[in-house]
Amino acid sequence: MTKPVVLIAEELSPATVEALGPDFEIRHCDGADRAALLPALAGVDAVLVRSATKVDAEALAAADRLKVVARAGVGLDNVDVKAATQAGVMVVNAPTSNIVSAAELAVALMLAAARNVSPAHAALKDGEWKRSKYTGTELYEKTVGIVGLGRIGVLVAQRLSAFGMQVIAYDPYVQAGRAAQMGVRLVDLDTLLAESDFMSVHLPKTPETLGLIGDDELHKVKPSLVLVNAARGGIVDEGALYSALKEGRVAAAGLDVFAKEPCTDSPLFELENVVATPHLGASTDEAQEKAGIAVAKSVRLALSGELVPDAVNVQGGVIAEDVRPGIPLTEKLGRVFTALAGEVAQSLDVEVRGEITEHDVKVLELAALKGVFSDVVTEQVSYVNAPLLAAERGTEVRLVTEADSPDHRNLITLRGTLADGAQVSVSGTLVGIQQRERLVEVNGFDLDIEPTEHLAFFSYADRPGIIGVVGRVLGDAGVNIAGMQVARNAKGGNALVALSVDTAIPAETLADIETTIEADTVRAVDLV
CA distance 424 to 525: 15
Would you give the DSSP letter of residue 381? P
Whether 508 is catalytic is no
Whether 28 is catalytic is no
Q: Alpha carbon 395 to chain centroid distance? A: 31
Asked if 195 contacts 139 with a C-beta cutoff of 8 angstroms, the reply is: no
Would you give the DSSP letter of residue 356? G
In DSSP terms, 79 is beta-bridged to 55
Catalytic residue among 208, 247, 261, 450: 261
Catalytic residue among 115, 249, 279, 335: 279
For 28-43, letters b (16+ CB in 10 Å) and e give ebebeeeeebeebbee
Asked if 41 contacts 63 with a C-beta cutoff of 8 angstroms, the reply is: yes
Catalytic residue among 115, 232, 300, 523: 232
Angle, CA 225 vertex, CA 222 and CA 230 arms, to 5°: 140
CA distance 247 to 154: 32
CA distance 41 to 56: 12
Whether 365 is catalytic is no
C-alpha neighbours within 13 Å on the C-beta side of residue 460: 22
What phi and psi, each to the nearest 5 degrees, are found at residue 246? -65, -40
Closest CA to 91 of 141, 152, 46: 46
Closest CA to 36 of 23, 27, 45: 27
Catalytic residue list: 232, 261, 279
